[in-house]
């Protein structure tokens, strides 16, 4: 893997003072304040860490054949995704639109899932105090019996 090192101060490399150097190496180590560049276990360079200002690692470029195979694989995956999206879209268009569940419930209980106002709460408490059942109160207020018991728990704490 190509490794390029930039130095904060000139470094003696291959008999010349340089501001940067490059090696092909398979490992980089930092050991006891030294930066070591190794290839197959052999030390190619040994540089004091404090003299290194930047390290650049470059992955070797894949061969033309490998790049072409990757490109073909990406194109194939994109084509498959587009086909799947198209099939899903067609299936969704074929479905009939669903009526919202609230619509069916509101056909029987006109105030279902709507916010309570102060007048409705007052009527709820008055009817409950008079002994009316949750079903009777619900019918009078256009609410489900379960909504009546939930609101009573909230208002009275039971």
1-47 pLDDT, tens digit per residue, is 788 888 888 888 788 888 988 888 888 888 888 888 899 989 988 88
Whether the full predicted model's pTM is greater than 0.85, yes or no, is: no
Q: Which contacts qualify for 127-131: CB closer than 8 Å, 24 or more apart?
A: 128/152
Percent of the chain scoring above 70 in pLDDT: 91
For 127, half-sphere exposure in the C-beta direction (CA atoms, 13 angstrom radius) is 19
Confirm if 37 and 44 have CB atoms less than 8 A apart: yes
pLDDT value at position 120? 94
d(CA 10, CA 16): 9
Specify the pLDDT at position 60: 67
What local confidence, expressed as pLDDT, does residue 94 receive?
Answer: 59
Side-chain half-sphere exposure of 83, counting CA atoms within 13 A: 6
The set of residues, in sequence order, having a beta carbon less than 8 Å from that of 152 and lying 6+ positions away, is 124, 128, 134, 158
Residues lower than pLDDT 70 in the chain: 60, 88-99, 158
Residue 3 has a pLDDT of 85
Give the per-residue pLDDT at 91: 61
């Amino acid at each position: 893997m190509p490794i390029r090192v930039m130095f904060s101060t000139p470094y003696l490399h291959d008999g010349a003072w340089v501001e940067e150097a490059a090696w092909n190496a398979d490992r980089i180590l930092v050991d006891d304040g030294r930066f070591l560049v190794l290839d197959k276990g052999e030390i190619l360079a040994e540089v004091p860490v404090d003299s290194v200002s930047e390290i650049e690692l470059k992955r070797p470029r894949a061969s033309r054949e490998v790049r072409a195979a990757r490109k073909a694989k990406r194109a194939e995956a994109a084509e498959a995704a587009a086909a799947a999206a198209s099939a899903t879209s067609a299936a969704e268009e074929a479905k009939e639109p669903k009526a919202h569940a609230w619509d069916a419930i509101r056909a029987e209980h006109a105030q279902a899932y709507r916010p309570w106002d102060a007048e409705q709460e007052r009527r709820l408490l008055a009817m409950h105090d008079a002994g009316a059942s949750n079903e009777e109160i619900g019918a009078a207020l256009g609410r489900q019996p379960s909504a009546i018991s939930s609101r009573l728990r909230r208002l009275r704490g039971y």
